[in-house]
Amino acid sequence: MTATARPETGRTPEEARVWDALRDVYDPEIPTISVVDLGIIHSVAATPERVRIEILPTFVACPAIDVMREQIREAVAGLGVAPEVSVGVTFAAQWSSDRITPAGHARLREAGFAPPADAPSFTADTVVDLNPLGRVRAKLVPCPYCDSKNTLLENRFGPTLCRSIYYCNNCRQPFEAFKAV
């Protein structure tokens, strides 16, 4: 059984130390959010002999995945919990923006990123494109600077696959928003 399947109280002492260390490893592209709050840690298994961590990439071609693996390995190896530390990438589960913790949402806003919206639903915030295909877009994305929903999608393709570029018509700030996946 992995540490993610156990309640915090059921973790081994080694696993608890590893999880604590992972809270101090930050995403290399957004250094205000930890890999724990980003939700990419899939599992931690630790014994006095070996630590095995599996991470979920936000997207298959995530350009930061190798950097994150090395940062995680270095942070955990520095603990001296076990002589062997390995960090692997798994596709056993799919990363979803729902894995970002509430603290992660707050950290993203503090850094000027709009956290991912909830899954689309038909509410007053739903925008319907009046095009021949009748597509429905997700809720309007609030600006991380002024919280206005008077925003405009500038480009679905931001600097990475997991982000889009928006513009706030109220405070006139461009910003990136995480895609809901």
Average pLDDT over residues 155-169: 88
Work out the pLDDT band at 169, boundaries 50, 70, 90: very high
Q: Which of 28-32, 34-38, 85-89, 156-160 has the lowest mean pLDDT?
A: 156-160
Structural domains in the chain plus CATH codes = 3-97 (3.30.300.130), 113-178 (no CATH)
What whole-number distance in Å separates Cα of residue 181 and Cα of residue 173? 24
In three-state secondary structure terms, 79 is coil
pTM metric for this prediction: 0.74
Work out the pLDDT band at 117, boundaries 50, 70, 90: confident
Helices (H) and strands (E) in the chain, counts: 4, 9
> What percentage of the chain exceeds 90 in pLDDT?
57
> To which residue do tokens 């059921």 refer?
10
Token output for 37:
């709050």
Query: In degrees, to the nearest 5, what angle opens at C-alpha 156 toward C-alphas 167 and 109?
Result: 50
Which has more pLDDT, 30 or 161?
30
What whole-number distance in Å separates Cα of residue 24 and Cα of residue 88? 19
